[in-house]
Structure 1
Amino acid sequence: MMLLVDGGEAVADAPVPRTGGVPLVPEGFVWPDCRECGDPLQFLAQLPLDPGAVAVFFCQNDPGMCDDWDATAGANRAYVFRGPLSAAAVPAEGETLLGAVTALRPHPAGTPATEPVLGRLGGEPDWIQGDETPDCPSCATRMTFTAELEEGADFATSANFGGGRGYVFHCHPCGEAAFLWQR
C-alpha cells in the first residue's frame, strides 16, 4: 500500500497519477455522459494500474441530483486504459474538468508525510459506511480494490464527495473498473 500525497501542480495532460486535468485515453475514446441527466461527466483522476491506468469520472452538472456515489447508477464511470494514450477531446459543455491539476505522489505508508494525503493505492478499502465492493459487470467476480481518494486540499482541486471519500476498483481479467464514494 502506498499513500498518495499532494505532489503540487501538474500539467493538464501529464502522464503521472493526478487529479484534474485532461484524461489520457486510447484512440477512439468517447467522453462519457451521465446516464441520469445526460450531460458529460467530470474527469476526476488518473491513477496507475499495472499495466496501464484507471481514469475516473463522475457527474457534477447538478450536484446531489444524480446518484454519482453509486457504482452502478450511471452517474460515474471508471475505465481501465492500456496501450498508447493521448489527451482526450474535452466536451465544450458541462462540468467536465476540476478547477486545477494536482500531481499525486506515491509515499510509503507508515512513514510521516509532510504534504497533505489525498488518497492511497492498494491495500484494503477503509470504508466509511460498510463494504460496497462492486462485482465486475462482465464476469460477476468481486472487483479488486485499486485506490482510495480524499476530497482534496482546497476547493479548486477537490472532488465533491460530500465530506467523504471515493473508492476505485478494477477487474484485471476483464479490463473493467468501477468507482463509488461514501460519506
Structure 2
Amino acid sequence: MQNFLPILQLPEETEPQSAPRDKLGGLPWGLRSDMWPVCTQCGGSQSLLAQFVHDPVRLDLGRTGRVLNVFQCNHDPGMCENWQGGAGGNACFVVEPEDLLRGLSEQPGDDPEIEFEAFVAEWETHDDGLSSEDARLFFPSDVQPGNADPTGPSMTDFDPTSSTRLGGVPFWIQSPHEAPQGGWTFVGQLDNTISFRRAPTVDHPDVEPDRSRWEGRTHTAIGPNFGDNGVGYIFLKHGGPLPQGWFFWQCA
C-alpha cells in the first residue's frame, strides 16, 4: 500500500502563506472565528495540529479545495480528554473552500498554545509492502470471528513507520480496537516529533540535528503533546455533504 511522508520546511524557508497549504501547527488558514473548535470539557479554544488539502490520491476529501483540520485542547494537559475521539477535547473536520476566509485566522482571545509550525514542501511516496488483505490485520475488529487464518500473517509481521504521514495503515501503540467502526477509513497519522527529512537551510532555536538519522531524518523538533512517544490517528467517513473526521491518540 502507498503512503506519503512529508518533506518539511520551516516558515522562514518559504513564502508567506497566501492560500491553504499542507502544514503542521501554526495558525489555521481561513477559519472563521465561529469555526474554531472549543474544548467541551474546559471551554478553551483548541490548538491546530495540522491542516491538509484535498488530493485525489493522497487524501481524498471528495472535492478540490476542501481542507481537513485537526485540533486538540492544550490548556490543561492531562485533564481534558484530548486523547479520546468524540470526547470533546479534540476536533477533526473538513471545510469547504467557499467557507474559508482569505488569510490566517486570528488567535482567539484565550490564547491557545500555537504548535510548532512546519510546511509540507513535497510528499515522498513510499510502499509499505502490505496488500489490501494484509491491511485488514490492522483492524481486527472488522474481521468476523473465525475468518482469520491462524497460519497466515499477523499484524506483528509488518512494521509500518510511526512517522507523520498520509495513507498506509496505522502504527498502533496500543489496541487497534480503539479505531472507530462503521464505515470509517484510516487516512493518516501524526507523530509527536516533528521530523525533517531534509536539513533546514536556516537556524531555528527549537530544531536540533538527529544524530541517529532515524528513518533518514536529519533534524527534529518537539511536536504535539500526545503523552509518552504518542501517535495521533486520523479517520474519515464519507457519505454525507462533507466527510466526517475522527481523531484520537495513543501513547506508550
Q: Give the TM bin, normalised by the shorter chain.
A: 0.7 to 0.9
Match of 1:122 in 2: 167
Q: Which runs of 5+ in 2 are unaligned?
A: 55-59, 129-161, 195-205, 208-220
| Larger-gyration structure (1/2) | 2
One-letter code of the match for 2:246? A
Match of 2:27 in 1: 22
Secondary structure at the counterpart of residue 85 of structure 2: coil
- Indicate yes or no: 2:118 matched with 1:102: yes
Q: Which runs of 5+ in 1 are unaligned?
A: 112-116, 136-140
Percent of pairs with identical residues: 33
Partners of 1:122 and 1:74 in 2: CA distance: 25
Match of 1:80 in 2: 94
Partners of 2:170 and 2:19 in 1: CA distance: 27
One-letter code of the match for 2:3? M
Partners of 1:182 and 1:82 in 2: CA distance: 29
- After TM superposition, give the deviation of residue 159 of structure 1 in Å: 0.5
- After TM superposition, give the deviation of residue 29 of structure 1 in Å: 4.2
Secondary structure at the counterpart of residue 164 of structure 2: strand
Task: Single out whichever of 151-160 and 57-66 deviates more from structure 2.
Answer: 151-160
Match of 1:176 in 2: 244
Partners of 1:13 and 1:67 in 2: CA distance: 34
CA deviations on 1:72-123 (whole Å, 9 max, x unpaired) are: 110000111222323333202132421x310133111149xxxxx8511112
Could you tell me whether the CA contact under 8 Å between 2:230 and 2:250 is conserved in 1? yes
The 5-angstrom pairing of residues 37-56 of structure 1 reads 37-49=42-54, 50=60, 51=63, 52-56=66-70
Aligned length: 172
Could you tell me whether the CA contact under 8 Å between 2:20 and 2:67 is conserved in 1? no
Match of 2:225 in 1: 160
Q: TM-score, normalised by structure 2?
A: 0.61
Partners of 1:28 and 1:161 in 2: CA distance: 26
Match of 2:185 in 1: 144
Partners of 1:14 and 1:60 in 2: CA distance: 26
